[in-house]
Amino acid sequence: MKRAKEALVLILAGGVGSRLNILVQQRAKPAVPFAGIYRIIDFSLSNVMNSGLKKVGVLTQYKPLSLMSHLGGGEAWDFTGRSRGVKILPPRTGEKESDWYQGTADAVRRNLDFLESNPAEEVVILSGDHIYHMDFDAMIAYHRSKKADVTVGMMVVPKSQIHQFGAGIVDKSDRIVEWEEKPKEPRTNLASMGIYVFDYRYLVDTLTRDRVEIDFGMHILPRAIADDNVFAYPFYGYWRDVGTIQAYWEANMDVLRKESGISPQKWQIRTNIETEGRFADRAPARFGTGCSLHSCMVSAGCIVHGRVFNSILAPGVVVEEGAVIKDSIIFADSVIHAGATVDLAILDKRVEVGRGAVVGCGENYTIANRSKPDHLYTGISLVGKGAVVPPGQKIGRNCVINSKIKAGDYPGKMIDDGESLFVAAGSN
């Protein structure tokens, strides 16, 4: 029997990810930084590498430049050499909006030439925006043992959350007999992880036969379940879709908790340390004599003189004396000046918080963001890339400060709970 190492991998990394708000304003969702030194896509890529799979195609579309820069030639994940590699598959678009990918299956269909030039026994299809640790070699072996046409990675989730996922009803042999895509009244708690193993020829024939089927969950799987052999592969480890601000924040906080089940180091997650920020060249973090740290992650190049609690600091973050950071995620090269407070917030790269300013002010977490109430509703505030929070400024809960906001753009000393501040039209 041929080994699972001969499978071809496709990573879907072209989604807009709009629920991550300003974090995806200038980057694709899989390129969003995670846990200080990683990007979200590092988890899928590292799982592929650790499973011994060798050939990967990454389907990009929305704001792909930072993602493409991060992937480089695949050296960080050992995808270089005659028999291995990462191929970036940019969108095949024309001048009309309809030329963009219409769904997950449509995205793969438009790259059939890549499949046909890389024949394999199976095709493993992954999303590039999930945090998890999984052995795809074992999943492929399971797929073969079942003689399946399609195998779907699935896990048990609370029924209250099943409306966010595709859901499968299985028989005693784990064959999927019914499928519900994002059901409002679920009959099962078994959710799709967006991880598929297809028989190579079955996938090519399916995508060639019917071009109306544009999405795997909505179209391909229901029809395959009715006509062919589709099985569920049970997964019991840590997995999280970080497509919302709340889920993204929780997954980062899980990295700080020993019993959460997530451990990038134990999972052997790799990243490209040579991309923007050049993490490889950073000096070790420095800590002042009066600093205080508790349950936090501090990356190389940080300088900490203040207090940091239950927070993640990416490389190059400066925390001056008297500054406090709590329950927050701070991206690379941000500066928190003396006496400032950042409480339950996510700050993008190169944010400057002035002396005595407060990001996350007050105790009222109930007023959702007025512009995007479904994005920010638990108290988390966002500050965009390169924004400045002037000295003494107060920013409430569930607020958004747009990228590149300058000190003179603020209408007053207080941004109330749920409010957003955007640069005026025509500003740079």
- How does residue 99 score in pLDDT terms, banded at 50, 70 and 90? low
Sheet with strand 292-294: strands edge to edge: 292-294, 307-309, 324-326, 341-343, 358-359, 394-395, 414-415
Q: How far is CA 269 from CA 10, 130, 262, 316, in A?
A: 19, 13, 11, 21
What is the C-alpha to C-alpha distance for residues 235 and 196, in angstroms, rounded to an integer? 13
Ordered strands of the 335-336 beta sheet: 286-287, 303-304, 318-319, 335-336, 352-353, 388-389
Q: How far apart are CA 28 and CA 91, in angstroms?
A: 13
Range 207-213 average pLDDT: 83
- Measured distance CA(2)–CA(140) in Å, rounded: 11
pLDDT at 351 (0 to 100): 98
Q: Is the pLDDT of residue 1 over 70?
A: no
Single-letter residue type at 224: A
Distance, CA of 369 to CA of 376 (rounded, Å): 5
Most confident region among 87-91, 217-221, 313-317 by mean pLDDT: 313-317
pLDDT at 64: 83
Residues 305, 301: Cα–Cα separation, whole Å? 13
The fold of the 282-421 domain, in CATH, is UDP N-Acetylglucosamine Acyltransferase; domain 1 (2.160.10)
pLDDT at 352: 98
Q: Residue 150 carries which side chain, given as an amino acid letter?
A: V
pLDDT at 4: 45
Domain boundaries, the chain: 4-256, 282-421
Which residue is listed with tokens 């060639």? 208
Q: Tally the C-alpha atoms within 13 A of residue 133's C-alpha that lie toward its C-beta.
A: 13
Position 214 scores a pLDDT of: 86
Annotate 9-49 with three-state secondary structure: EEEEECCCCHHHHHHHCCCCHHHCEECCCEECHHHHHHHHH
Q: Span 282-288, mean pLDDT?
A: 95
pLDDT at 216 over 80: yes
Query: How far lies 84's CA from each of 14, 176, 421, in Å?
Result: 22, 33, 47
Q: Say if residue 177's pLDDT is above 80.
A: yes
Is residue 407 helix, strand or coil?
Answer: helix
Mean pLDDT, residues 116-127: 94
Q: Which two tokens stand for residue 123?
A: 């095709």
How confident is the prediction for the chain on average, in pLDDT?
91
Measure the CA–CA gap between 90 and 57, rounded to whole angstroms.
10
3-state helix, strand, coil in the chain (%, to 5): 25, 25, 50
Report if pTM > 0.75. Answer: yes
pLDDT band at 217 (very low <50, low <70, confident <90, very high): confident
Position 399: which residue type?
A: C
Given this model, what pLDDT does residue 101 score? 77
CA-atom Rg of the chain in angstroms:
23
* Position 428 pLDDT exceeds 70: no
Q: Would you say residue 82 has pLDDT above 50?
A: yes
Cα(20)–Cα(96) distance, integer angstroms? 26
Burial state string for 76-97 with b = 16 or more CB within 10 A and e = fewer than 16 = bbebeeeebebbbbebeeeeee
Tell me: domain 4-256, CATH 3.40.50.2300, correct?
A: no
